[in-house]
Amino acid sequence: MTSTENDCLFCKIADEQLPADVVYKDDLVVAFRDVNPQAPTHILVIPREHISYAADLSDSHSALLSRMFKTANKIASDENISEEGYRMVINNGKGAGQTVFHLHLHLLGGRPMNWPPG
């Protein structure tokens, strides 16, 4: 089941209709702390535009994707996890672990990351 913009939890956070611990926002993206963190630093970077899946991205989203990754890198520096290292994850679909069907990048750090994940 996918959400629509009208009932999307992340759209409501981006529109400030729901509270979140926002660490960054601009005209394209919003970043906030995950309510169920899997690492000492666990921040979600989302586009303001409702895009359900990574598979829905097109060439027209190049600037948006660049902004998402640049934002994650800046936050990693601000959170003092850049030197130690951090992980960025985007899940695509329920089978990959996506539970909110609005594109989002997980920024995880502050602890060792195992491989393979999952």
Catalytic residues: 104
DSSP codes of every residue in 4-67: -GGG-HHHHHHTTSS---EEEE-SSEEEEE-SS-SSSEEEEEEESS----GGG--GGGHHHHHH
